[in-house]
């Protein structure tokens, strides 16, 4: 069981990290730039407090990718707490309204108290490939929608009755229009 817990409220440009001990006392509270050197310094400072630390994050992709990658490369244990869980839990903590520091404290405290949190591990090849494929499919769907909307807008300007009668989501009407 860890002796300290580091909760990180993830942001695009900055993260806020709060480290607590088994009694829930703050040992460190710091805003850090989402930059490799700043994050490595933070990791070093947390490990200087105690080598037996459990990291907790509220995002598992996007802006958290660099921090997660650094933690995984250093073989540091890390759990993921959903944003909804943080939001609901923060209602039971007093003071400060909604701040990054409060959210980071809630994340660390939830990691300290809960035993049902899933540990983040490096993704296996199938999961990585599936994420790439679904992202590519989402991009293709967005491109097709954009093309259909552009074609509808042009038809509306030139021939409104034809635009109303054609269903451009089917292949036939699109093939018909490519001939002209």
In whole numbers, what is the pLDDT of the chain averaged over residues? 88
Cα end-to-end distance, the chain, whole Å: 71
List of E strands, 14-144: 14-21, 26-33, 53-57, 78-80
Q: What pLDDT digit, counting tens, does each position of 31-63 carry?
A: 999 999 999 999 999 999 999 999 999 988 788
> Is domain 4-113 in CATH 3.40.50.2300, yes or no?
no
Which pTM was predicted? 0.69
Q: What pLDDT digit, counting tens, does each position of 128-167 carry?
A: 677 778 889 999 999 999 999 999 999 999 999 988 888 8
**Domain chopping of the chain, boundaries:** 4-113, 125-178
């Amino acid at each position: 069981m860890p002796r300290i817990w580091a909760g990180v409220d993830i942001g695009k440009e900055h993260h806020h990290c709060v480290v607590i001990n088994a009694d829930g006392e703050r040992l460190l509270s710091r805003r850090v730039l989402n930059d490799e050197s700043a994050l490595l310094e933070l990791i070093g400072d947390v490990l200087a407090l105690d080598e037996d630390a459990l990291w907790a994050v509220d995002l598992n992709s996007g802006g958290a990718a660099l921090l997660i990658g650094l933690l995984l490369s250093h073989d540091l244990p890390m759990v993921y707490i959903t944003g909804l869980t943080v939001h609901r839990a923060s209602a039971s903590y007093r003071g400060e309204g909604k701040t990054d520091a409060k959210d980071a404290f809630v994340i660390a405290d939830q990691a300290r108290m809960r035993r049902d949190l899933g540990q983040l591990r490096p993704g296996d090849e199938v999961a990585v490939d599936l994420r790439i494929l679904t992202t590519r499919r989402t991009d293709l769907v967005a491109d097709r929608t954009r093309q259909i909307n552009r074609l509808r807008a042009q038809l509306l300007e030139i021939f409104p009755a034809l635009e109303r009668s054609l269903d451009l989501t089917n292949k036939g009407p699109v093939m018909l229009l490519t001939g002209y």
